[in-house]
Amino acid sequence: MKKFVYLCCMMLLNMNIMAQIDPYDRNWDTVVFDDFSIPGRTWTPWSFMSSDQQWRAYPGFGVTNGKELQVYQFNNCVFNDTVMEIVSIFDEGNDIPNHSYYLPSWMKPEHNGPGFPDNDSLFFFSGEIDYYNEQMPDSGRFKYGYFEIRCKLPIHTGAFPAFWLWYADSISPSNRYYEEIDIFEYSWSFEDIPNAHHNPHAHGAGNPYCFTTGIYYTDTTNHHHWQNSRARNFPMIGDSLSNWHTFACDWQPEHIIWYCDGNVVNEYHDPDNIPRHPLTLKTNYAIDRYALKRHKFGNPLIWEGSDKMVIDYIKVCQLGWQCNTDEVITRQYDLDHFDYAVKKSISISSAIEPVSVGSTDKATFRATDSFEITGPFQVDSGGEMTVIMQNCPE
Protein backbone atom coordinates (compact mmCIF):
# COMPACT_ATOMS: atom_id res chain seq x y z
CA MET A 1 0.00 0.00 0.00
CA LYS A 2 1.35 3.41 -0.94
CA LYS A 3 2.07 5.71 1.92
CA PHE A 4 3.25 9.26 2.38
CA VAL A 5 4.51 10.21 5.87
CA TYR A 6 6.48 13.17 7.17
CA LEU A 7 7.64 13.90 10.69
CA CYS A 8 9.72 16.94 11.56
CA CYS A 9 9.89 19.84 13.99
CA MET A 10 10.39 22.70 11.55
CA MET A 11 9.35 22.59 7.92
CA LEU A 12 8.62 25.35 5.44
CA LEU A 13 7.03 23.30 2.70
CA ASN A 14 5.58 24.20 -0.67
CA MET A 15 4.20 20.88 -1.85
CA ASN A 16 2.36 20.39 -5.15
CA ILE A 17 0.98 17.38 -6.92
CA MET A 18 1.96 18.41 -10.43
CA ALA A 19 0.24 17.40 -13.64
CA GLN A 20 2.15 19.42 -16.19
CA ILE A 21 5.77 18.63 -16.97
CA ASP A 22 8.07 21.11 -15.28
CA PRO A 23 11.32 22.10 -17.06
CA TYR A 24 13.00 22.18 -13.63
CA ASP A 25 11.85 18.65 -12.77
CA ARG A 26 15.11 16.70 -12.90
CA ASN A 27 13.27 13.38 -13.13
CA TRP A 28 12.76 14.07 -16.84
CA ASP A 29 15.47 13.36 -19.40
CA THR A 30 15.17 14.95 -22.84
CA VAL A 31 15.73 12.05 -25.23
CA VAL A 32 14.67 13.85 -28.43
CA PHE A 33 14.86 17.50 -29.32
CA ASP A 34 14.84 18.47 -32.98
CA ASP A 35 14.37 22.08 -34.06
CA PHE A 36 15.16 21.12 -37.66
CA SER A 37 18.08 23.52 -37.79
CA ILE A 38 20.66 21.05 -39.15
CA PRO A 39 21.77 22.56 -42.47
CA GLY A 40 21.62 20.45 -45.59
CA ARG A 41 19.59 17.61 -44.11
CA THR A 42 17.92 15.53 -46.83
CA TRP A 43 16.11 12.24 -47.39
CA THR A 44 17.98 9.15 -48.50
CA PRO A 45 15.90 7.91 -51.47
CA TRP A 46 16.22 4.16 -51.00
CA SER A 47 15.91 3.96 -47.22
CA PHE A 48 13.61 7.01 -46.87
CA MET A 49 15.60 7.92 -43.77
CA SER A 50 16.80 11.43 -43.06
CA SER A 51 20.51 11.87 -43.68
CA ASP A 52 21.11 12.12 -39.91
CA GLN A 53 19.22 8.82 -39.34
CA GLN A 54 16.58 10.36 -37.05
CA TRP A 55 13.39 10.41 -39.14
CA ARG A 56 11.76 8.03 -41.57
CA ALA A 57 9.29 9.17 -44.23
CA TYR A 58 6.49 7.15 -45.75
CA PRO A 59 8.07 5.68 -48.90
CA GLY A 60 5.26 6.53 -51.32
CA PHE A 61 5.13 3.31 -53.35
CA GLY A 62 1.36 3.35 -53.11
CA VAL A 63 -1.25 4.70 -50.75
CA THR A 64 -1.86 3.95 -47.09
CA ASN A 65 -4.21 1.14 -46.17
CA GLY A 66 -7.55 1.34 -44.43
CA LYS A 67 -10.36 3.84 -44.81
CA GLU A 68 -8.13 6.91 -44.53
CA LEU A 69 -6.32 6.38 -47.83
CA GLN A 70 -3.44 8.82 -48.27
CA VAL A 71 -1.03 9.45 -51.13
CA TYR A 72 2.12 10.13 -49.12
CA GLN A 73 5.41 11.16 -50.75
CA PHE A 74 8.69 11.49 -48.87
CA ASN A 75 9.62 14.56 -50.93
CA ASN A 76 6.52 16.33 -49.58
CA CYS A 77 8.34 16.43 -46.22
CA VAL A 78 10.80 19.29 -46.62
CA PHE A 79 13.82 20.14 -44.44
CA ASN A 80 14.45 23.86 -44.98
CA ASP A 81 17.18 24.25 -42.30
CA THR A 82 14.95 26.10 -39.81
CA VAL A 83 11.65 24.17 -39.79
CA MET A 84 10.10 20.99 -41.15
CA GLU A 85 7.35 21.55 -43.72
CA ILE A 86 4.88 18.81 -44.59
CA VAL A 87 3.26 19.97 -47.79
CA SER A 88 -0.03 18.89 -49.32
CA ILE A 89 -0.53 19.47 -53.04
CA PHE A 90 -3.74 19.10 -55.03
CA ASP A 91 -3.34 16.73 -57.96
CA GLU A 92 -3.78 19.35 -60.69
CA GLY A 93 -2.49 17.04 -63.41
CA ASN A 94 -4.82 14.15 -62.56
CA ASP A 95 -1.80 11.90 -62.13
CA ILE A 96 -3.70 9.54 -59.86
CA PRO A 97 -6.89 9.12 -61.95
CA ASN A 98 -4.73 8.74 -65.07
CA HIS A 99 -2.86 5.93 -63.31
CA SER A 100 0.48 7.72 -63.46
CA TYR A 101 0.56 6.84 -59.78
CA TYR A 102 0.20 3.29 -58.57
CA LEU A 103 -3.21 2.31 -57.21
CA PRO A 104 -3.79 -1.27 -56.08
CA SER A 105 -6.69 -2.90 -57.87
CA TRP A 106 -8.53 -3.57 -54.61
CA MET A 107 -9.04 0.18 -54.18
CA LYS A 108 -10.93 0.59 -57.43
CA PRO A 109 -14.73 0.86 -57.51
CA GLU A 110 -15.14 -2.20 -59.75
CA HIS A 111 -13.70 -4.23 -56.87
CA ASN A 112 -15.85 -2.45 -54.27
CA GLY A 113 -12.77 -0.75 -52.91
CA PRO A 114 -12.70 2.63 -51.15
CA GLY A 115 -10.36 4.14 -53.76
CA PHE A 116 -10.66 6.53 -56.70
CA PRO A 117 -13.06 8.08 -57.49
CA ASP A 118 -14.91 7.38 -54.24
CA ASN A 119 -12.15 8.62 -51.96
CA ASP A 120 -11.50 12.32 -52.53
CA SER A 121 -8.31 12.22 -50.44
CA LEU A 122 -6.69 10.51 -53.44
CA PHE A 123 -6.71 13.85 -55.28
CA PHE A 124 -3.89 15.10 -53.01
CA PHE A 125 -0.23 14.29 -52.42
CA SER A 126 1.08 14.85 -48.90
CA GLY A 127 3.54 13.47 -46.36
CA GLU A 128 4.12 11.62 -43.07
CA ILE A 129 7.21 11.14 -40.89
CA ASP A 130 8.06 8.85 -37.98
CA TYR A 131 10.77 9.37 -35.40
CA TYR A 132 13.05 6.42 -35.93
CA ASN A 133 16.45 5.95 -34.33
CA GLU A 134 17.99 2.56 -35.00
CA GLN A 135 19.96 2.83 -31.75
CA MET A 136 16.76 2.81 -29.71
CA PRO A 137 15.16 -0.39 -28.41
CA ASP A 138 11.81 -1.53 -29.81
CA SER A 139 12.66 -0.31 -33.32
CA GLY A 140 12.58 3.33 -32.31
CA ARG A 141 9.28 3.19 -30.42
CA PHE A 142 8.57 4.91 -27.10
CA LYS A 143 6.95 3.48 -23.98
CA TYR A 144 5.58 6.34 -21.86
CA GLY A 145 6.94 9.88 -21.75
CA TYR A 146 6.19 13.49 -22.55
CA PHE A 147 5.73 14.43 -26.21
CA GLU A 148 5.56 18.00 -27.49
CA ILE A 149 5.40 19.76 -30.85
CA ARG A 150 5.32 23.45 -31.79
CA CYS A 151 3.70 24.01 -35.14
CA LYS A 152 1.40 25.97 -37.42
CA LEU A 153 -1.52 24.09 -38.93
CA PRO A 154 -3.37 24.32 -42.24
CA ILE A 155 -7.08 24.86 -41.62
CA HIS A 156 -8.60 24.28 -45.07
CA THR A 157 -11.48 21.96 -45.86
CA GLY A 158 -10.01 18.49 -45.85
CA ALA A 159 -6.81 19.45 -44.02
CA PHE A 160 -6.10 16.73 -41.47
CA PRO A 161 -2.74 17.34 -39.69
CA ALA A 162 -1.87 15.30 -36.62
CA PHE A 163 0.81 14.49 -34.03
CA TRP A 164 0.28 11.05 -32.55
CA LEU A 165 1.59 7.75 -31.19
CA TRP A 166 0.59 4.47 -32.77
CA TYR A 167 1.23 0.77 -33.13
CA ALA A 168 -0.89 -2.27 -33.88
CA ASP A 169 -0.07 -5.94 -33.48
CA SER A 170 -2.01 -7.77 -36.17
CA ILE A 171 0.34 -10.76 -36.43
CA SER A 172 -0.18 -12.75 -33.26
CA PRO A 173 -3.87 -13.79 -32.88
CA SER A 174 -3.31 -14.43 -29.17
CA ASN A 175 -1.94 -10.94 -28.52
CA ARG A 176 -3.53 -8.68 -31.08
CA TYR A 177 -3.99 -5.09 -30.01
CA TYR A 178 -4.50 -1.61 -31.38
CA GLU A 179 -3.18 1.42 -29.49
CA GLU A 180 -3.24 5.06 -30.54
CA ILE A 181 -2.75 8.33 -28.66
CA ASP A 182 -3.80 11.43 -30.59
CA ILE A 183 -1.80 14.29 -29.08
CA PHE A 184 -3.73 16.49 -31.47
CA GLU A 185 -5.70 16.20 -34.70
CA TYR A 186 -7.40 18.93 -36.68
CA SER A 187 -10.06 18.38 -39.29
CA TRP A 188 -12.90 20.37 -40.76
CA SER A 189 -15.12 17.32 -40.37
CA PHE A 190 -14.76 16.79 -36.62
CA GLU A 191 -17.00 19.72 -35.76
CA ASP A 192 -19.36 19.61 -38.73
CA ILE A 193 -22.05 17.31 -37.35
CA PRO A 194 -23.29 17.19 -33.74
CA ASN A 195 -22.29 13.94 -32.01
CA ALA A 196 -19.83 13.04 -34.75
CA HIS A 197 -17.00 11.05 -33.16
CA HIS A 198 -18.90 11.20 -29.84
CA ASN A 199 -18.79 15.01 -29.82
CA PRO A 200 -21.94 16.35 -28.10
CA HIS A 201 -20.96 20.00 -28.60
CA ALA A 202 -20.42 20.75 -32.27
CA HIS A 203 -18.49 23.98 -32.84
CA GLY A 204 -19.32 24.48 -36.51
CA ALA A 205 -17.61 23.20 -39.64
CA GLY A 206 -13.98 24.14 -40.07
CA ASN A 207 -13.64 25.97 -36.76
CA PRO A 208 -9.98 27.17 -36.72
CA TYR A 209 -9.94 27.33 -32.90
CA CYS A 210 -10.97 23.73 -32.20
CA PHE A 211 -9.04 20.46 -32.45
CA THR A 212 -9.35 17.00 -30.94
CA THR A 213 -7.37 14.82 -28.52
CA GLY A 214 -7.94 11.25 -27.37
CA ILE A 215 -6.94 7.59 -27.47
CA TYR A 216 -8.01 4.33 -29.06
CA TYR A 217 -7.31 1.19 -27.13
CA THR A 218 -8.21 -2.39 -28.02
CA ASP A 219 -6.44 -5.36 -26.48
CA THR A 220 -8.49 -8.14 -28.00
CA THR A 221 -8.47 -10.21 -31.18
CA ASN A 222 -10.73 -7.63 -32.84
CA HIS A 223 -9.56 -4.58 -34.71
CA HIS A 224 -10.46 -1.16 -33.32
CA HIS A 225 -13.79 0.52 -33.92
CA TRP A 226 -15.18 3.88 -32.90
CA GLN A 227 -16.62 2.45 -29.70
CA ASN A 228 -13.06 1.79 -28.58
CA SER A 229 -12.22 5.48 -28.52
CA ARG A 230 -11.68 6.91 -25.05
CA ALA A 231 -10.98 10.29 -23.52
CA ARG A 232 -11.79 12.03 -26.81
CA ASN A 233 -12.57 15.71 -26.48
CA PHE A 234 -12.60 18.86 -28.60
CA PRO A 235 -10.71 21.72 -26.93
CA MET A 236 -11.33 25.31 -27.96
CA ILE A 237 -8.47 27.81 -27.84
CA GLY A 238 -8.43 31.58 -28.22
CA ASP A 239 -6.11 31.87 -31.21
CA SER A 240 -6.30 30.39 -34.70
CA LEU A 241 -4.55 27.06 -35.20
CA SER A 242 -2.86 28.62 -38.22
CA ASN A 243 -0.59 30.49 -35.77
CA TRP A 244 2.16 28.97 -33.63
CA HIS A 245 0.94 26.66 -30.85
CA THR A 246 2.43 23.87 -28.75
CA PHE A 247 0.60 20.57 -28.35
CA ALA A 248 1.76 17.95 -25.86
CA CYS A 249 0.80 14.95 -23.77
CA ASP A 250 2.19 13.23 -20.69
CA TRP A 251 1.61 9.48 -21.08
CA GLN A 252 2.21 7.42 -17.93
CA PRO A 253 0.97 3.99 -16.77
CA GLU A 254 -1.79 5.58 -14.67
CA HIS A 255 -2.76 8.64 -16.72
CA ILE A 256 -2.59 10.61 -19.95
CA ILE A 257 -2.74 14.40 -19.75
CA TRP A 258 -2.99 16.59 -22.85
CA TYR A 259 -1.82 20.21 -23.14
CA CYS A 260 -2.11 23.10 -25.54
CA ASP A 261 0.20 26.06 -24.99
CA GLY A 262 0.98 24.73 -21.51
CA ASN A 263 -2.67 24.47 -20.44
CA VAL A 264 -4.35 21.15 -19.60
CA VAL A 265 -7.07 20.45 -22.19
CA ASN A 266 -7.86 16.78 -21.49
CA GLU A 267 -7.14 14.08 -18.89
CA TYR A 268 -7.66 10.34 -18.63
CA HIS A 269 -7.05 8.31 -15.48
CA ASP A 270 -8.17 4.72 -16.15
CA PRO A 271 -5.00 2.56 -16.03
CA ASP A 272 -6.89 -0.47 -17.39
CA ASN A 273 -7.50 1.30 -20.71
CA ILE A 274 -4.26 3.20 -21.22
CA PRO A 275 -1.87 1.98 -23.96
CA ARG A 276 0.94 -0.06 -22.46
CA HIS A 277 3.02 -1.13 -25.45
CA PRO A 278 5.86 0.78 -27.16
CA LEU A 279 4.44 3.18 -29.77
CA THR A 280 5.83 5.00 -32.80
CA LEU A 281 5.79 8.81 -32.77
CA LYS A 282 4.21 10.09 -35.98
CA THR A 283 3.55 13.46 -37.60
CA ASN A 284 1.52 13.75 -40.77
CA TYR A 285 -0.56 16.03 -42.92
CA ALA A 286 -3.38 13.82 -44.13
CA ILE A 287 -6.41 14.74 -46.22
CA ASP A 288 -9.77 13.96 -44.62
CA ARG A 289 -12.03 12.29 -47.14
CA TYR A 290 -15.03 12.73 -44.83
CA ALA A 291 -14.66 16.51 -44.94
CA LEU A 292 -14.19 16.60 -48.70
CA LYS A 293 -17.12 14.36 -49.48
CA ARG A 294 -19.54 16.84 -47.94
CA HIS A 295 -18.91 19.04 -50.97
CA LYS A 296 -18.12 18.57 -54.64
CA PHE A 297 -14.98 19.64 -56.43
CA GLY A 298 -15.53 23.07 -57.91
CA ASN A 299 -17.57 24.12 -54.88
CA PRO A 300 -15.88 27.18 -53.30
CA LEU A 301 -15.81 25.35 -49.95
CA ILE A 302 -13.49 22.70 -51.41
CA TRP A 303 -9.81 23.40 -51.13
CA GLU A 304 -7.93 22.64 -54.36
CA GLY A 305 -4.45 23.98 -53.73
CA SER A 306 -1.21 23.61 -51.83
CA ASP A 307 -0.59 24.29 -48.17
CA LYS A 308 1.68 23.03 -45.43
CA MET A 309 2.02 22.08 -41.81
CA VAL A 310 5.07 23.92 -40.42
CA ILE A 311 6.94 22.36 -37.48
CA ASP A 312 9.28 24.45 -35.32
CA TYR A 313 10.42 21.60 -33.05
CA ILE A 314 9.55 18.18 -31.66
CA LYS A 315 10.58 17.16 -28.15
CA VAL A 316 10.37 13.90 -26.21
CA CYS A 317 11.18 13.54 -22.49
CA GLN A 318 11.16 10.35 -20.44
CA LEU A 319 11.39 9.54 -16.76
CA GLY A 320 14.23 7.58 -15.25
CA TRP A 321 12.88 4.34 -13.79
CA GLN A 322 14.51 2.65 -10.76
CA CYS A 323 11.41 0.97 -9.44
CA ASN A 324 13.24 -1.63 -7.36
CA THR A 325 15.41 0.88 -5.51
CA ASP A 326 14.83 1.98 -1.92
CA GLU A 327 16.56 5.35 -1.55
CA VAL A 328 17.64 6.59 1.88
CA ILE A 329 18.79 10.21 2.29
CA THR A 330 20.70 10.65 5.55
CA ARG A 331 22.66 13.87 4.94
CA GLN A 332 22.76 16.94 2.74
CA TYR A 333 25.34 15.35 0.45
CA ASP A 334 22.86 12.57 -0.40
CA LEU A 335 20.18 15.08 -1.37
CA ASP A 336 22.60 17.22 -3.40
CA HIS A 337 23.61 14.14 -5.40
CA PHE A 338 20.18 12.51 -5.64
CA ASP A 339 19.63 11.23 -9.20
CA TYR A 340 15.88 12.00 -9.29
CA ALA A 341 14.69 8.76 -10.89
CA VAL A 342 11.41 7.09 -9.94
CA LYS A 343 12.20 4.94 -6.90
CA LYS A 344 10.35 2.23 -5.05
CA SER A 345 10.64 4.21 -1.82
CA ILE A 346 12.33 7.39 -0.64
CA SER A 347 13.18 8.06 2.98
CA ILE A 348 14.74 11.24 4.41
CA SER A 349 16.01 10.11 7.80
CA SER A 350 18.87 12.35 8.86
CA ALA A 351 19.61 12.00 12.59
CA ILE A 352 22.66 14.27 12.74
CA GLU A 353 22.43 17.23 10.40
CA PRO A 354 19.33 18.89 8.91
CA VAL A 355 18.61 18.29 5.24
CA SER A 356 17.13 21.16 3.28
CA VAL A 357 15.95 22.27 -0.13
CA GLY A 358 17.59 25.64 -0.76
CA SER A 359 15.82 28.92 -1.41
CA THR A 360 16.51 28.72 -5.18
CA ASP A 361 16.07 24.96 -5.57
CA LYS A 362 13.21 22.81 -6.83
CA ALA A 363 13.13 19.18 -5.74
CA THR A 364 10.70 16.63 -7.19
CA PHE A 365 10.54 13.18 -5.59
CA ARG A 366 8.76 10.32 -7.36
CA ALA A 367 8.11 6.94 -5.75
CA THR A 368 5.88 3.95 -6.33
CA ASP A 369 5.40 2.68 -2.76
CA SER A 370 6.30 5.26 -0.12
CA PHE A 371 7.84 8.61 0.69
CA GLU A 372 8.63 9.48 4.30
CA ILE A 373 10.52 12.06 6.33
CA THR A 374 11.66 10.94 9.79
CA GLY A 375 14.46 13.38 10.53
CA PRO A 376 15.20 17.12 10.49
CA PHE A 377 14.19 18.52 7.12
CA GLN A 378 13.10 21.88 5.73
CA VAL A 379 12.34 23.72 2.52
CA ASP A 380 13.74 27.23 2.67
CA SER A 381 11.57 30.17 1.74
CA GLY A 382 11.57 30.45 -2.06
CA GLY A 383 12.40 26.78 -2.54
CA GLU A 384 9.93 24.22 -3.85
CA MET A 385 9.35 20.56 -3.15
CA THR A 386 7.01 18.21 -4.99
CA VAL A 387 6.13 14.62 -4.15
CA ILE A 388 4.50 12.40 -6.79
CA MET A 389 3.33 8.84 -6.13
CA GLN A 390 2.98 6.89 -9.36
CA ASN A 391 3.12 3.47 -10.95
CA CYS A 392 6.03 1.96 -12.83
CA PRO A 393 5.76 0.42 -16.30
CA GLU A 394 4.68 -3.19 -16.49
The verdict on 166 and 276 lying in the same domain is yes
The verdict on 132 and 215 lying in the same domain is yes
The verdict on 288 and 330 lying in the same domain is no
Q: What is the pLDDT along the chain (394 residues), one digit of tens a residue?
A: 444 444 333 333 333 333 467 777 888 999 999 999 999 899 988 888 998 888 999 876 677 877 778 889 888 999 998 999 999 998 887 777 666 666 667 777 777 777 777 778 888 899 999 998 777 767 779 999 999 999 999 998 889 999 999 987 766 666 677 889 999 999 887 754 444 545 555 566 678 889 999 998 876 645 444 456 788 888 989 999 999 999 999 999 999 999 999 999 999 999 888 998 899 999 999 998 888 876 666 676 778 889 999 999 999 999 999 999 999 999 999 999 999 999 999 999 877 778 999 999 989 999 999 999 988 888 999 999 999 998 888 7
Separation between Cα atoms, residue 365 and residue 25, nearest integer Å: 9
Sign of the four-CA dihedral 40, 57, 245, 152: positive
Is 112 contained in some domain?
A: yes
Query: Considering 319, 348, 369, which residue would you say is the last residue of a domain?
Result: 319
- Beta-carbon contacts of 300 under 8 Å, excluding residues fewer than 6 positions away, are none
User: Which residues span the domain enclosing 216?
Assistant: 31-319
The verdict on 241 and 336 lying in the same domain is no
The verdict on 141 and 280 lying in the same domain is yes
The verdict on 362 and 252 lying in the same domain is no
The verdict on 281 and 251 lying in the same domain is yes
Whether residue 109 is preceded by a cis peptide bond, meaning omega within 30 degrees of 0, is no
Total-model pTM? 0.87
Query: Considering 319, 334, 364, which residue would you say is the last residue of a domain?
Result: 319
Query: Considering 260, 285, 319, which residue would you say is the last residue of a domain?
Result: 319
CATH code of the domain covering residue 82:
2.60.120.200
Q: What is the dihedral of CA 218, 221, 227, 228, to 10 degrees?
A: 0
Distances (CA, A) of 19 to 147, 233, 259, 299: 14, 18, 10, 45
The verdict on 14 and 79 lying in the same domain is no
The verdict on 190 and 325 lying in the same domain is no
The verdict on 247 and 337 lying in the same domain is no
The verdict on 294 and 305 lying in the same domain is yes
Q: For the chain, how many structural domains are there in total? A: 2
